[in-house]
A and B are shown apart, each in its own frame.
Chain A
Amino acid sequence: MYSEVQTAAIYGIDGVPIRVEADVSDGLPAFQMVGYLGSEVREARERVSTALRNSGFSMPVKRITVNLYPADIKKSGTGFDLPVALAILTAIGVIPPDVFEETVVIGEVNLQGNVCPIPGVLPIVAKAEELGIKRILVPAQNRVEAELLGKIEVIPVESINGAVSYLTGTYEIPPREEQREAAEDHAPDFSEIKGQRVLKRACEIACAGMHNLLMIGPPGAGKSMAAKRLPSILPEMDRKEQMETSKIQSVAGLLSGATTLSRRRPFRSPNHTATLQGMAGGGTIPRPGEMSLAHNGVLFLDELTEFSPQVLEVLRQPMEDHEITIARANGSYRYPAKFMLVAAMNPCQCGYYPDRNRCRCTRRQLDRYLGRISDPVIDRMDLAVGINAVAFGELSGDPKEESSAKIRARVEAAQKIQKERYMTESFRFNSALPPGLIKRYVPLDKEATDYMEEIFFRRNLTARGYHKILKVARTIADLSGKERVDKACLTEAVCYRSVEKRDWEPDERNGD
C-alpha cells in the first residue's frame, strides 16, 4: 500500500515543503530509503524501525520503500523521523490515509518512540502558513515556538503513539500550559553609564542613522557597556523584521523558550577567536553565522585588533549587500545579514596609550597594533570616538543620567524623518546614502561648503572620508530637527572622523 505525508526541510532560513512517500509491497523483506539523503536522514531508517517496534507496532515482513521528494534537494536534519514513521504506519493501515490532508509533520524520534525537538521550527511553520496548511504536528517541546505565529493549528506530540492516537481520533490535545508571562527581563539601560557624554552622543548618532561605530579607548572606559546598551536605544523591530530575525534564530536553535516574537533587536558579540565559518555561517550542514544572527540588530566586535584579518575581511561584502551567500555543491544558501557594526579596540597593545606612565609601547609597536586593521575595514566605520577612562569624580558623583527610553525617542524621531525623506528611494537610512545622491539630500550653504573645502585639505581627506562626514552630519541635523546641514553639524561630524588612519598617528613622523 502506498501513503504520503507532508513535511518540510530547512533551506537557508526558509522552509521548503517535502513529501514523504512510503510504499509497502510484497517481496523480499527490506526497508530502504531514497531521495538524496544526508547521512543523518539515512540513519532515520534504523531509528524509525526500532522506534516503531518499541512503540508496539511490528514491522511487516514486506518490502518497504520510503522516498523523500523532490529528490533534487539534499535532505539534512533529523526532522524527517516522525513523518517517515507515520508514513509507514499509514502504508500498513494503522492510520487512515485521509487524515494527512493539509497537515505537515515534523519531528525527530528516539529509539523509545518518543518525539524529540528539532531546530528551525519557526520557518517551517511560517512556510506552512504561507502555503495554506491547516495544522502541523510538532514535537511537544517545540510547541511554544510553533505557536508564535498563531494562525495555524499546532498539534504537540510527545511520542509516536501519541501521534497515532491523535490521528485516529482517540486523543485530546492537552491545553497549552499557562505560560508565565516572562517578566520583562532587566534590559541594560544607558542610565547605568556614568558620564561619558561624548560616547553616548556618538551612540545616539550611530543608531539614528544606522552608522557603523568604532570606539577606541583604554580598558574599563565603558566601551562594551555602551555597546550592549545599543539595542535599547534602537527602535523596536516591526513585524517583518521580527519574522526575519526570529527565523534565523530558530534555524540556529536559539529560539526555544521564547514565548513571543522578540521586538528587541539582537545584539551579537562574538569572541575574537571567531572563525570564518562562525562569522559568516556555513558548515557541511549550513548554519547562519554571527553576521546573520545579528540581522536587524547590532554586531559588536570587542577587541577588534584581535580578530583574524580574514574574519574582518569577510565582513565587507555583507556590509554592502546586506546578505551573505554560501555556495555548496548542492546549492547556495542565502542568509540575510543587515547589521550595524560596532567595534571596540584599545589604543595600543597594553591599552593605555597615550598615558605614558603606564604605556611603554614603542612607536613601532603602536604602528603594528593599528596596522592589524586593514584600511578597507577602517573605511567602513562612519564614526570613531576616542574615549578616556572614567574620572573618579564621574564614578562617585551621582548625576541623573538620561534613560535609554529618552534617547530612543530622539532616535526614532530622526529615523522617521529619514524614512519620509527617502520614501522614493531604495534605502532608508543616512548611512546608506549613495555618493551620487549626497548633493541632493545634503545640500550645503555657502558657509558650510567653504568649511568642507577647508576641512578636505586640512585633514587630507579621501573622497570616502569626505562623504562619511556629510552623511554623519545629515544624521546630526536630523537628530536636532534641522532641515539643512549647517556648519555646526559638520564640525561635530568632523570630530568623529579621527578614524582616518594618518590622524591617529601622533605628530612625530620626521619630528613633526
Chain B
Amino acid sequence: MVDQYDLWLVCVPGIGPRKITSIISACGNARECFFLKEEALRYIPVLREDDVQRIIESRRTWEMEKQWERLMKSGVCVVRKGEKGYPKKLYHITDPPHLLFYRGRLPADDQRAVAMVGARECTDYGREMAKKIARTLAAAGMTVISGMARGIDSASHMGAIEGGGETYALLGCGPDICYPGSAKRLYETLVSRYGVLSEYAPGTPPEKGFFPARNRLISALSDAVLVIEARARSGSLITADFALEQGRDVYALPGRITDALSHGTNQLIRQGASPIVSIEVLLEDLKLRESVQGRGDVTPVISLGETERRVYEALEILPAGMEDLLEKTALSIPELMAALDILMKKQLAKEGFPGAYRRCY
C-alpha cells in the first residue's frame, strides 16, 4: 500500500523519478529514507549534496498528516510502482514514476493503445483528421492516449469517445486540476468514463517543465505515437523523441510543405517516421485492418441535390472564402448560400469563421 512517506518522497522538490528509483533501491522504501541519517543519505548514488539538503529541508517542513489527509479527501486514487494495477508498460522506460495518481480508471495492460499528439493552435485539417483517425482507431478497439490540451489533443479524445473506444489523458498537473480550464466538459467525461492520469500529486499546479515529462508517459503508455500536426521545434516532437527512445513506432500525418503546422510532421517523416497516407493503411500497419472491415464510411454525398453536391465538392478541409466558392461552383450568391445552408444542416459543412466554409467529415 502507498503510505504517507511515499507521498512525501514524490513531493520533495528537485527529486525526480530517476533519483527516487535510486533512493528506493538503496533504502527499500520511502519510510526508511525519511528516517535515514544525513550521512547515510550522502551514500545514495546519484544524489548530490543539494539533493540531500533538499530532502533534509523537506523532512523538517513537510506536514505529513495534513498532506495525506488532503490526498485521501481529493478523491484521487494512487498506485505505486510494483503494486498490482501499475501499468506494466511503464516498466519499460528508464524513469517510471514512483507513484501514479489518477481519477477514473487506469488503462488495462493487455489493451493496445496509440498516443495522439499535436499542436494546440492547429488547423481545421489537423483537427478533423485527428478526430477522424481517433474515431476509426477507437472503433477498431484501440485505446487513445493524449494530453487533453486544446487542438489536436482534445480532438483526439473527442474522436475516440465518438468512436466508442477508450481514451486516457495524462496531465502536466495534479489529476484533480482541469488544465486547460476550457476543457472542463471533456475532463468530466474522461474522469467519469475513462481516466485522467498524472505523476504529480493532487493540487500540483501546471508548470512549464512538467509537460515534457508528461509527454514521456504519453508515449510510454502507448504502442505507437501519431503526430498529427506540429510546427518545427514543438512539444509534440519531444513526445516523438521519447517514443523513439522507448522503442515505439512513430507515425506522422504529412501535410503541404508550405504549411507551418506541417513542418514538424514532415520533418519526422524525413527522419524515418511512417507517414499516415490513409486511415486504411494506418489500420493495416497497426494490424487492426481485419477488425474494421465492413465498417467503411458511408459517403454522405448520395442524399444531396445537384447544387449542394457541386458546393460540397468545392469545399475543402481548410476553410474557403465565399468568393472562392462562387468562382468554383459558378453559382449565384443566393444559390450558394442556400446550398451551404443545407450542407450545414446536414453537418457536411461548417462555417469556421464568418464567410469561410469548410467540409466536415
Contacts and interface: CB of A to CB of B under 8 A. Distances in A.
Nearest to B256: A357
Contacts of A201: 333
B355 A217 contact: yes
B150 interface: yes
Given A361-B121, A384-B354, A356 B334 contact: no
A415 B34 CA distance: 86
Contacts, number: 119
B322 interface: yes
Nearest to B319: A354
Interface string A362-398: 1100000000000000000000111110110110000
Given A354-B353, A385-B355, A494-B341, A508 B334 contact: no
Interface in B318-358: 319, 321-324, 326-327, 333-334, 337-338, 340-341, 345, 350-356
Contacts of A354: 123-124, 319, 352-353, 356
Contacts of B121: 356, 360-363
B357 to A, nearest CB: 10
Contacts of A274: none
Given A386-B356, A492-B337, A362 B120 contact: yes
A387 B356 CA distance: 8
A412 B187 CA distance: 56
B310 to A, nearest CB: 16
B354 A357 contact: no
Interface stretch (B45-53, B154-162, B283-291): B154-162
Interface string A489-512: 101101100110001101111111
Given A201-B333, A388-B323, A488-B338, A512 B158 contact: yes
B323 A508 contact: no
A407 to B, nearest CB: 14
A48 to B, nearest CB: 61
B355 A198 contact: yes
A385 B341 contact: no
Contact of B183 (A347, A454, A511): A511
B157 to A, nearest CB: 6
Given A363-B121, A511-B183, A503 B150 contact: no
Nearest to B125: A356
Nearest to B325: A198
B182 A347 contact: no
A306 B324 CA distance: 29
A488 B334 contact: yes
A499 B334 contact: no
Interface string B225-266: 000000000000000000000000000000000111100000
A166 interface: no
B333 A198 contact: yes
Interface in B297-330: 319, 321-324, 326-327
B232 to A, nearest CB: 13
A82 interface: no
B256 to A, nearest CB: 9
Nearest to B155: A511
A196 interface: yes
Interface residues of B, number: 42
Contacts of B155: 511-512
B212 to A, nearest CB: 19
A510 B338 contact: no
Contacts of A503: 351, 354
Contact of B354 (A386, A491, A494, A507): A386
Contact of B154 (A217, A385, A387, A511): A511
Contact of A498 (B185, B326, B341, B354): B354
Contact of B324 (A363, A388, A494): A388
A510 B186 contact: yes
A201 B151 CA distance: 35
A215 to B, nearest CB: 9
Given A354-B319, A354-B356, A510 B333 contact: no
A216 interface: yes
B92 interface: no
B324 A507 contact: no
Interface in B191-223: none
Nearest to A459: B344
Nearest to A385: B355
Interface residues of A, number: 45
A458 interface: yes
B92 to A, nearest CB: 30
Contact of A356 (B185, B261, B337, B350): B261
Interface string B157-187: 1100000000000000000000000111110
A508 B154 contact: yes
Given A356-B121, A356-B122, A388-B324, A506 B182 contact: no
Contacts of B259: 356-357
Given A510-B182, A511-B157, A386 B355 contact: yes
Nearest to A365: B121
B127 interface: yes
A146 B341 CA distance: 56
Contacts of B183: 510-511
A491 B355 contact: no
A196 B185 contact: no
B191 to A, nearest CB: 14
B345 A196 contact: no
B324 A391 contact: yes
A387 B323 contact: yes
Contacts of B123: 354, 356
Interface in A152-201: 195-198, 201
Contacts of A357: 258-261
Nearest to A361: B121
B324 to A, nearest CB: 7
Contact of A504 (B186, B260, B350, B354): B354
A206 to B, nearest CB: 14
Contacts of A495: 337, 340-341
A353 interface: yes
A356 B340 contact: no
A510 B186 CA distance: 6
Interface centre among B157, B186, B334, B350 (most CB of A within 10 A): B334
A456 B313 CA distance: 28
15 contacts: A195-B323, A197-B326, A216-B355, A217-B355, A357-B258, A361-B121, A363-B121, A386-B322, A393-B327, A487-B338, A492-B337, A495-B337, A504-B354, A508-B150, A511-B186
Interface of B: 120-124, 127, 150-151, 154-155, 157-158, 182-186, 258-261, 319, 321-324, 326-327, 333-334, 337-338, 340-341, 345, 350-356
Given A387-B355, A511-B155, 10 more contacts: A198-B322, A198-B326, A354-B319, A361-B121, A363-B120, A386-B356, A388-B323, A393-B327, A506-B352, A506-B353
